[in-house]
Chain A
Amino acid sequence: MPRLVSHPDEVKIVSRRFGMGATSIDRYLELGGYEPVKKCLAQGPEWIIEEIKASGLRGRGGAGFSTGMKWSFVPKQSAKPKYILVNGDESEPGTCKDHLIFLHDPHAVIEGTIIAGLAVGAKMGFIYLRGEYRYLLEIMERAVADAYERGFLGSKIFGSEAEFQIVTQTGAGAYEVGEESALMESLEGKRGIPRIKPPFPAVVGLYGGPTVINNAETIATVPHIIAMGAAAYAALGTPRNGGTRLFCISGHVERPGVYELPLGYNLKKMIYEVAGGIPDGHKLKAVVPGGSSTPVLLPEEIDIGMDFDQVGKAGSMLGSGGVVVIDDHTCMVEFALRIISFYAHESCGWCIPCREGTDWLKKSLTRFHAGFGSLSDIDNIQYLAENMLGRTFCPLGDAAAMPTIAFVKKFRKEFEDHLNGKPCPYAREGVPQLTVV
């Protein structure tokens, strides 16, 4: 069972019910659950959308698009059924927040999904978990069954005239399916290849119907916003960055864990105070602020507030909230290689720049890390990554290219230290060298 952590600076909104037995529907009700959805039923769709817009809630999957805006793009009238699709295909390395939501508060996801359905006029929702989360699917399935039993789901929810059905399922191992249009493909029983956009899912989505796709954390936040009021939620964060986020602090810290902190919380403080700093007397070398696809930050770059705008200004991205802390005993070439190996493994292969680019970056970095590189390789790696950037069919190519460019630019010396057949100068004793086949 994943360890729960806490820190006084935390503002527990989404994680409020973590560890409180809220998987039980009775307990969830005791803790105030399913009241927000009743309020929404009474207030109607326009009110819900305005409330979510006013809360400043931005997508927690990584792109940070305004949730209220996204909902408002769904046409009021549609010949085809509309759908809500909850993206629980949590796959960005460094990110494990949805894991805890499904584990501790499945009804919040259900309730948020129903509210989204009420807001846009959808009668069906899908909750898609990544394939590895089978035990979480079982928790979700039980929660959904309980909700049906109580009449919270089905043809007349909460005794109203509204209908809402929920289907839960898992994927079968594919990072790319986290991309929203690839997710729809997967849910339709196909290879997880993204779709051409436009049309956007809000207009033509799942089974051709208008579809809202939200990250699981985003959806789980919705009932809390309804409960506490949009203004109160917005006030928690920084301007244009409403509320809190589940930050997943992992890597070289004393107390790794998922902490719920207001948006704009200082990154340096997060690492040194909330997570307890770097263990073993080591020093900080670098921080990946928002999951593996976000450009790495140097120690001197981390005195920033963790919101979409400030991290963006620092040259990186807030992403999925996965903060990966790297100490000074780590080889950054190896780290870059590990990241690019991941993207090479996960590239769907659809478009040339991503398929061939990730494969070549992986091959080149493998050789380079093994000490068989040349000076021109460093430039070639950068050239390659720069030529993938913005040229691929979906953001996965960018996700591979952006961190690579940052690694080469910010740690060029470490790359140069691998030249001339030298063994990796940063290898720790007793630690097996990463070799990628």
Chain B
Amino acid sequence: MPEVTFTVDGKKLRAPAGTLLIDACRKAGIEIPAFCYYPGLSLQAACRMCVVRQEKVPKLQTACTTTVAEGQVFITESPEIAQARKATIQLLLGNHPLDCPVCDAGGECELQDMTFKYGAGESLYAEAKHHRDEQQWSPAVFYDRPRCILCYRCVRMCGEGMDVWALGVSGRGADSLIVPNQPNQLDCEQCGMCIDVCPVGALTSGSYRYKTRPWEMTHVSTVCTHCADGCTVTLGVRQTSDGSEIVRADNRDKNGINGDFLCAKGRFGFDFVESPDRLRQPLVRSNGRLEPASWEHAIRLAASKLKEIRDTRGGAAIGVIGSNRTTNEENYLLQKFARTVLHTNNIDHERSTDYAALARALAGQSGKTASLRDIASACAILLIGGNPTDEHPLLAWLLRTNVRLNRARLYIANAKPIKLTRQAKDALKIKSGDYNDLPASLDAGRSAFAKAIRAEGSLLVIFGEEMRGEAVEKLVAWGVKRGNVRFACLGDHSNSRGAADMGLLPDLLPGYVPVAAPGAFSEYPNLPATPGKSLPQMIEAAGKGELGALLVVGADPVATRKLDPTLFNSTFLVVQDLFLTETAALADVVFPAASLYEKSGTVTNTFGDLQLLRKGADRAGVKPDFEILVRLAGGIIDDIKTLVPFGQRGVTGDLGQSRGAQAGEADRHAIWLEANGLEPKLSPFDPLAILDEIERLVPGYPLDRINLFAGNDVHTKLSSPGYVPVAELAGSGLIAPAHDTLFTSGRLGRWSEALKQLAQHQAKELVETAAD
């Protein structure tokens, strides 16, 4: 559309012809109030708050439906307009209860703000207000009709945004109300987006209602710990006697990769942090039982035992299993700890997809990976396997939104029917064994699907864990040959990509550099040059009594792989975790770890987008895995600087913004020292101390610090220059996807009461709907 010039409040503005006046004004910093208008959703013109005066038009016009054209003249603030808005608010307040002091939305309410701005302070009415009892629609959603101003944002968000269509409008006139799809019950995805978009306190959150006032919380934006999409989640944190607690999670910070979106897990599944089952102090096995112990004792015991086994039986007798929810810095440190302190390549993690295969296939290529933001704007997308609606809700949202708003063409090839098929231009049902042959059939196939794919110019290919090893290589080869293709690979959990990128792999160093590659990571002391054991191999070794010690960080192989509890009888088992998992219950030493919401650092989503965590909550007794590892290393080696380069030149302080509540005196001190030409000395426990090393040594991680520390996502590169492919690791069970539902989160979800309640609610709705 050509740009046009028009005048708003005396200012000349330019925008493409046909832009909505309200959008054009907001872009130019002219705020036009609106209740019903919500960017990206269909237009309503119902609230009449956005009325403006257009020259030569007799009536006030709604800015949300007026499109700009050349030469138009508008006035957005005048006594006439203010009066119109005031009168509308007066009308709303006629029925709206003034229970603001106890309303969840008090302080965050658009109606309050408008009332304040337009001064509808006096009531003209003596009549009683309409009353209806509040309804609980699900564990997550409550509806208070009297507070509802019928802006229909929730209805549209649920239908247009989520493609769930669980909310409707019933009745007529002043008796109109929002209704759920079952009798007073909501049978839906429980995403809570309806609560999020509600401009008032009509829809409230089951997990937050009546807990606190918005201004009593500190709002910390960090990255969600659940799935691998990496949504920005804003934690509402309140001080407590022993730290701070999370009372709410939402997406009030709309600048994240997720924009307006947050799913049920991100919104309601934070409560595991506050679970009474959290470990609060180290445990040490004594007389067959795990007993509380001091940090000093537990560290000393674990370190000396690990050192003893390394020195007597060699590093090959020690195994390390990492986590897919710990930070990149922790993962990097863990593999470095394994390789340089324990002298072993026996390191792995619970893999949920085959990132290594993608890295191998893309060797020598560049610019072939897609970031999550690319999904939002790609013209054509091929989705192979996967089930984004359940397992990658943000991806599903972006795909839906891109199709709806930009008419993107979505092609789906899947063995199972998935919900996103509704948005697909075409869908190909394939047999579950046929994923390997898909590229060939796309090249040669005569189906409309294959022809449409071939006709597309650029193509973004997203594939699920169904594509592994050779299938990934074939797909990438097909794409590279075809040209104009970018790839994304779907894994689970908040940092499984980071775990793979950071080298929690027996055969690959960080950045997928083979352990045997000549000259790789030459500065690592004692780096063993042969690949170590994979996770299944370590378990096998333990069964044979060949594994002297096993360090498990944030993983629960005993549960996920249903292992015999006697398996580790001859293995010294050290576990770092939030809870006494089935694995931790067998351990000799257990360290209580901090969750992702209680630490700083970075994580990488499944698309390779790197994001900064901000520490939200704080809890007495627990420590971040980074600190636990450094302490363990301190008990094994003499010079900790060989592991963590703290206090060396090049370490960057960041004034503490990145660490939220733990913003440290040490950082500010470091900055001051640096400014004065003195050597800054950071704490060895500061995970950012290792960022420089990651940037320097890990291919694909050149950090764009300005963006990273500003809270933006930074796309990493998946490539390995000069990489010599090694044979794929043999053995089954290497990849074990979680196949999470909307209300499960690997082994973590079971500690969230909120998610369990939602799962129960939906299970009940499902049974009842099926019975109909």
Spell out A's residues near B (CB within 8 Å): 174, 191, 196, 344-353, 355-360, 363-364, 367, 377, 380, 383-384, 387, 390-393
Contact = CB atoms under 8 A, between A and B. Distances in A.
B20 to A, nearest CB: 11
User: Which residue of B84, B90, B94, B172 has the most chain A CB atoms within 10 A of its CB atom?
Assistant: B172
A345 B173 contact: yes
A344 B175 CA distance: 10
Interface stretch (B39-47, B288-296, B533-541): B39-47
B124 interface: yes
B48 A359 contact: no
User: Which residue of B91, B126, B127, B150 has the most chain A CB atoms within 10 A of its CB atom?
Assistant: B91
Contacts of B90: 387
A196 B65 contact: yes
Contacts of B169: 191, 349
A367 B124 CA distance: 14
A380 B173 contact: no
B172 A360 contact: no
A358 B175 CA distance: 12
A363 to B, nearest CB: 4
A207 B447 CA distance: 32
Nearest to B64: A196
A357 B125 contact: no
Given A352-B149, A391-B84, A358 B174 contact: yes
Contacts of B130: 359
B172 A391 contact: no
A360 B43 CA distance: 26
B60 A344 contact: no
Contacts of B171: 349
A420 to B, nearest CB: 15
A174 B172 contact: yes
Given A352-B91, A364-B127, A347 B84 contact: no
Interface string B46-75: 111101000000011000010000000000
B48 A391 contact: yes
A223 B606 CA distance: 70
A357 B89 CA distance: 11
B127 to A, nearest CB: 4
Nearest to B65: A196
A419 to B, nearest CB: 14
Contact of A351 (B45, B60, B172): B45
Contacts of A349: 150, 169, 171-176
B95 interface: yes
B663 interface: no
A352 B174 contact: no
B662 interface: no
Contact of A344 (B92, B95, B174, B176): B174
B567 interface: no
Given A345-B173, A355-B173, A390-B59, 13 more contacts: A344-B174, A347-B172, A353-B91, A356-B92, A363-B125, A364-B125, A364-B127, A377-B126, A380-B124, A380-B125, A383-B87, A384-B91, A387-B88
A359 B95 contact: yes
A383 B124 contact: yes
Contacts of A347: 172-174
Interface in B162-181: 169, 171-176
B125 A359 contact: no
Contacts of B45: 196, 351, 393
A352 B47 contact: yes
Contact of A393 (B48, B91, B172): B48
Contacts of B51: 391
B83 interface: yes
A63 to B, nearest CB: 15
A390 B51 CA distance: 11
Closest 7 CB pairs between A and B?
A: A387-B87, A349-B176, A356-B91, A359-B174, A363-B127, A347-B173, A349-B173
A390 B125 CA distance: 22
A353 B174 contact: no
A357 B125 CA distance: 11
Interface in B72-120: 83-84, 87-88, 90-92, 94-95
Contact of A348 (B44, B49, B126, B173): B173
B88 A391 contact: yes
B610 to A, nearest CB: 43
User: Which residue of B43, B45, B65 has the most chain A CB atoms within 10 A of its CB atom?
Assistant: B45
B127 A351 contact: no
Nearest to A398: B59
14 contacts: A174-B172, A196-B45, A347-B173, A348-B172, A349-B172, A353-B91, A356-B91, A358-B173, A358-B174, A364-B126, A384-B124, A387-B84, A390-B59, A391-B88
Contact of B60 (A191, A350, A360, A391): A391
A347 to B, nearest CB: 4
A185 to B, nearest CB: 13
Contacts of B87: 353, 383-384, 387, 391
A350 B124 contact: no
B566 to A, nearest CB: 66
Contacts of A384: 87, 91, 124
A347 B87 CA distance: 18
A393 B50 CA distance: 12
Contact of A352 (B43, B60, B88, B127): B88
Nearest to A363: B127
Interface in B108-153: 124-127, 130, 149-150
Contacts of A358: 173-174
B46 A350 contact: yes
A383 B470 CA distance: 75
B91 A344 contact: no
A247 to B, nearest CB: 29
A34 B87 CA distance: 54
Contacts of A383: 87, 124
Contacts of B48: 351-353, 391-393
Nearest to B83: A387
A384 B35 CA distance: 21
Contacts of B91: 352-353, 356-357, 360, 384, 387
Nearest to B176: A349
A209 to B, nearest CB: 20
User: Which residue of B44, B65, B88 has the most chain A CB atoms within 10 A of its CB atom?
Assistant: B88
A293 B48 CA distance: 22
Interface string B643-675: 000000000000000000000000000000000
A152 B419 CA distance: 48
A407 B60 CA distance: 25
B198 to A, nearest CB: 16
A319 B672 CA distance: 80
Nearest to B59: A390
A355 B60 contact: no
B173 A344 contact: yes
Contacts of A391: 48, 51, 60, 84, 87-88
Contacts of A392: 48
A390 B173 CA distance: 18
A254 to B, nearest CB: 37
Contacts of B35: 352
B127 A393 contact: no
A360 B173 contact: no
Contacts of B127: 360, 363-364, 367
Contacts of A360: 91, 94, 125, 127
A191 B49 CA distance: 23
Contacts of B46: 350-352, 393
A355 B84 contact: no
A174 B171 CA distance: 11
Contacts of B176: 349, 355
A384 B123 CA distance: 12
A63 B642 CA distance: 86
Given A350-B46, A352-B47, A359 B173 contact: yes
A367 B126 contact: yes
A59 to B, nearest CB: 20
A345 B172 CA distance: 8
